[in-house]
Amino acid sequence: MEERLTPLTVAGMMSGSSLDGMDICICKFTPLVDGTITHEIIVADTIEYEPEWIDHLSNALNFSMSDYFSFEADYSYCISMMVKDFMQIFGVDVDLIASHGHTLDHRPDEGISVQIGDPGVIAALTGVDTVADFRIQDITLGGQGAPIIPIAEKLLYPEFKSFINLGGIANISIHTEDTIIAWDTIPCNQVLNDQAMILGAEYDENGEWAKKGQYNQGLAATWDALEYLAHDIPKSLDNNWIREEYLPIISDLKVDPKDALNTACNHIATQIKKDIQKFSIVLPEKIMITGGGTHNTYLISCIEKQLSTIGIQIFIPEKTVIDYKEATMTALMGYLFAMDIPSTIPSVTGANRSTIAGKYCKG
């Protein structure tokens, strides 16, 4: 790897918990003499998963050991060809690939976090050096291995000090002069997309169904009673917990999907407000919102309404930042690995030290 700070072009790959596809973002990172890093997004897009992959990724932990190994090999080949074809289609050569992969299991208290997608396969099939598996070192050192987005916020968006990411899971980051805190606050798009699928769509466009639904106090109260929401930070959510504990509450209470969508949007907004009030030493004046949920105008209106009551303004960036902030983060973590710079933040994850996160395979 590099012995000094140099510009590099990196392809970042991110498969989020919403299962909408593989986000690929090719970025050029340039270190400046003042120690900061600038970035340029050259091209970014989402490669949608075929229904078969969505089903397999959702149920992989139920596979036999033999079937799981075959699935992992097939998935590694699939995403390798995704990024290889992506680079060829757009005519962009990269110095490095950074792959987050797809999280199948996340139980940091048990020392477990599995992101599928073998960097050795990616490196071999693309011929490009590849870095992957960015969470396990932090977990081994006592951390949550999540959130890992704050390093990108700190280095790439220094003009902002507070962030909300509305992905499959909503997470919050608060940056101060002395420290950075960040945490998974509540299930987000995983819940909204689940209910939209019952109504026959992949997602609730602009929150139109949510607008027509009625707030269900019983559903909100049952969600509020879940132990995770009361946990102190650092904390992070597992997708399997959402599928096994959080989502079934909707069907157990026989809540209409439109009412569930309305309740979820309002509950997400309320929980974000509660957590910011609970964990922030000083309330931020403005907060940047990114992630797929940002396109849900009803959800954004709920969040804006809640945060305005405590004097916080929201800021919505350009679409490329909204949709590809996490893929950009993955690319940055690859760049930091190449430059021998730590990329995890102990005040965020709870680990006993920072790490130069990732595993490297030569292309």
Q: What is the DSSP letter of 235?
A: -
The overall longest dimension of the chain from CA atoms, in Å, is 59
Q: Does the pLDDT at position 327 exceed 60?
A: yes
Residue 158: the pLDDT is 92
Please name which of 26, 133, 120, 51 lies closest in space to residue 80, comparing C-alpha atoms.
120
Buried b (16+ CB within 10 A) or exposed e, 167-189: bbbbbbbbbeeeebbbbbbbbbb
At 270, which amino acid appears? Answer: T
The confidence score (pLDDT) of residue 345 equals 96
Residue 73 scores a pLDDT above 80: yes
HSE-CB at 242 with a 13 A cutoff on CA atoms is 24
Q: Which residues of 265-302 are buried (b: 16+ CB within 10 A; e: fewer)?
A: bbbbbbbbbbbbeeebeeebeebbbbbbbbbbebbbeb
Q: Which domains does the chain have, with CATH numbers?
A: 8-148+325-361 (3.30.420.40), 150-321 (3.30.420.40)
Average pLDDT over residues 202-224: 97
pLDDT at 234 exceeding the cut of 90: yes
Average pLDDT of 124-141? 97
- Find, among 347, 329, 325, the residue nearest to 166 by Cα: 325
Q: Average pLDDT of 20-41? A: 93
- Is residue 134 over pLDDT 80? yes
33-48 pLDDT, tens digit per residue, is 887 899 999 999 999 9
How far apart CA 55 and CA 19 sit, in angstroms, is 10
Amino acid at 292: G
Query: How many residues are present in the chain?
Result: 363
Helix-helix angle 65-90:119-126, to 10 degrees? 40
Q: pLDDT tens digits, residue range 257-279? A: 999 999 999 999 999 999 999 99
Q: Please give the pLDDT value at position 33.
A: 81
Average pLDDT over residues 105-118: 96
- According to the model, what pLDDT value does residue 19 have? 86
Q: Residue 82: which of 102, 66, 68, 64 has the closest Cα?
A: 102
- Note the pTM of the prediction, 2 decimals: 0.93
Mean pLDDT, the chain, whole residue set: 96
Whether the Cβ atoms of residue 14 and residue 330 lie closer than 8 Å to each other: yes
Share of residues in the chain with pLDDT > 70 (%): 99
Percent of the chain with pLDDT over 90: 95
- Which amino acid appears at position 59 of this protein? N
* Dist CA 229 CA 57 (whole Å): 26
pLDDT for 17 equals: 84
The pLDDT score that the predictor gives to residue 4 is: 66
Q: How many other C-beta atoms can be found within 10 angstroms of the C-beta atom of residue 201?
A: 13
Measured between alpha carbons, how far is 335 from 155 in angstroms, rounded to an integer? 12
- Residue 3: is its pLDDT beyond 90? no
Q: Which pLDDT score, from 0 to 100, does residue 242 have? A: 96
**Are residues 249 and 264 in contact, defined by beta-carbon separation less than 8 angstroms?**
no
Mean pLDDT in residue range 342-358:
97
Q: What is the pLDDT of residues 242-256, one digit of tens each?
A: 999 999 999 999 999
